[in-house]
């Protein structure tokens, strides 16, 4: 055999034997992307193909990638199955584990960006949590699907392909974690799931999407320099411990709302009582006089109260119908109740000073 053919033959043997992963044989010029898989509908399976019923978080990342021929020409891929759950089951423990895995991948000089596959139900919370604790300028792109992988309408493969293309694009740097679905890119701060089944479920009601995921790659509407930094300079991931995070509970306002749930929480033994409450308020973060009175009892008992809005759009401002200054309450500003909850959880690991906590929400 000609001497020069030997290395090629060896490479072919290694590839066919499976000893060498395809990505290891990729051109060294390809950017490298780490994909962290957590489950969700993108990894979901129908009992009967085409049926409405399905189970999220079943297929592995390897299986998802096997449906994407040609992706290895876009990026060299490192995959990690961090979990395989329906995202409604995400816990603080898993959030921090995922954040640490993302931080570790971002710290690798050879990694251009990180893609996270995730259920859509809590994807906006995970994106926001990552915004609060990740420090890297490298792209982090969360994606998922509204139809399970076995559906004839499966949207996951195209979303995952676009997420990798977004993660390798230099234009994606500095925007903070991005949420990609249905050809749109959203910022972690503003994005919300707004529909149970629609493909355009993710909307950014205050600011609009930050960009589009086009066939030619991401196109941003706003420069990265205008992306809001993490409030308070972000939080130190290394010092966070899920078992000691302050407990924060969301309380819903509605017509005929009473203070039953708040008073039940106040009746708990001190060690089980939440450290804070987020009001998912009507209108501008408001509630019935009865519920407001219960929340006042809560803040007198030492719980921090944050007012957010269930409306889905707009800001919650201080001292409009509710006198926050007199009550010692905090206005959630642009954050949804669920994102306000996460910021309060992390904020309370740093301070109980109300002005300082309000500043975090103002900066968010
Ligand atoms: C989930 O959030 O895990 C289920 C729903 C979805 O991914 O769309």
Residue by residue, pLDDT tens for the chain (364 residues) are: 344 434 444 444 443 333 334 444 445 689 999 999 999 999 999 998 889 999 999 999 999 999 999 999 999 999 999 999 999 999 999 999 999 999 999 999 999 999 999 999 999 999 999 999 999 999 999 999 999 999 999 999 999 999 999 999 999 999 999 999 999 999 999 999 999 999 999 999 999 999 999 999 999 999 999 999 999 999 999 999 999 999 999 999 999 999 999 999 999 999 999 999 999 999 999 999 999 999 999 999 999 999 999 999 999 999 999 999 999 999 999 999 999 999 999 999 999 999 999 999 999 9
Give me the DSSP letters along 162-205: HHHHHHH-GGGTTS-SEEEETTEEEETTT-EE--SS-TT-EE-T
- Both tokens of 43, joined, read 């990894």
pLDDT value of position 351: 98
Closest among 142, 167, 162 to 212, alpha carbons compared: 162
* Secondary element (H or E) of residue 325: helix 324-327
Question: Whole-prediction pTM value?
Answer: 0.92
Instruction: Let me know if 91 is a catalytic residue.
Output: no
Give the mutation target among 43, 88, 124, 127 for probing the ligand 1 site: most ligand atoms within 8 A of CB. 88
37 phi and psi, to 5 degrees? -100, 135
Q: Is 148 in the pocket of ligand 1 (CB under 6 A)?
A: no
Ligand 1 atom nearest to CA at 85: 3
Q: Is 56 in the pocket of ligand 1 (CB under 6 A)?
A: yes
How many separate helices (H) and strands (E) can be counted in the chain?
Answer: 10, 16
> Which residues neighbour 361 within 8 Å (Cβ) at sequence distance 6 or greater?
231, 306, 330, 331, 332, 333, 335, 340, 343
- Both tokens of 272, joined, read 């089980």
Residue 113 pairs in a beta bridge with 33
């Amino acid at each position: 055999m000609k001497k020069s053919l030997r290395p090629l033959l060896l490479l072919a043997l290694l590839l066919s034997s499976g000893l060498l992963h395809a990505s290891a044989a990729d051109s060294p010029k390809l950017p490298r992307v780490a994909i962290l898989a957590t489950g969700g509908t993108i990894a979901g399976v129908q009992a009967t193909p085409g049926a409405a019923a399905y189970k999220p978080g079943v297929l592995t990342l390897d299986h998802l990638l096997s449906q994407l021929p040609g992706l290895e020409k876009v990026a060299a891929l490192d995959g990690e199955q961090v979990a395989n759950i329906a995202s409604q089951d995400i816990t603080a423990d898993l959030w921090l584990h995922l954040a640490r895995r993302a931080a570790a991948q971002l710290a690798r000089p050879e990694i251009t960006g990180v893609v996270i596959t995730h259920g859509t139900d809590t994807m906006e919370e995970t994106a926001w949590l990552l915004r609060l604790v990740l420090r890297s300028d490298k792209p982090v792109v969360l994606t998922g699907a509204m139809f399970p992988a076995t559906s004839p309408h499966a949207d996951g493969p195209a979303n995952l392909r676009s997420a990798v293309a977004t993660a390798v694009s230099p234009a994606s740097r500095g925007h903070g974690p991005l949420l990609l679905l249905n050809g749109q890119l959203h910022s972690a701060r503003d994005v919300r799931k707004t529909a149970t089944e629609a493909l355009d479920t993710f909307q950014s009601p205050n600011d609009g999407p930050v960009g589009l995921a086009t066939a030619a790659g991401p196109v941003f509407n706003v420069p990265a320099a205008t992306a809001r930094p993490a409030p308070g300079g972000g939080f130190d991931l290394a010092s966070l411990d899920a078992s000691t995070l302050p407990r924060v509970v969301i309380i819903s306002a509605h017509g005929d709302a009473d203070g039953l749930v708040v008073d039940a929480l106040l009746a708990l033994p001190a060690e089980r009582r939440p450290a804070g409450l987020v009001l998912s308020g009507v209108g501008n973060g408001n509630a019935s006089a009865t519920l407001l009175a219960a929340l006042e009892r809560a803040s007198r008992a030492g719980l921090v109260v944050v007012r957010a809005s269930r409306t889905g759009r707009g800001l919650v401002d201080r001292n409009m119908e509710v006198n926050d200054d007199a009550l010692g309450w905090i206005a959630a500003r642009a954050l949804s109740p669920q994102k306000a909850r996460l910021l309060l959880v992390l904020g309370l690991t740093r301070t109980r000073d109300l002005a300082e906590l309000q500043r975090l929400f103002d900066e968010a």
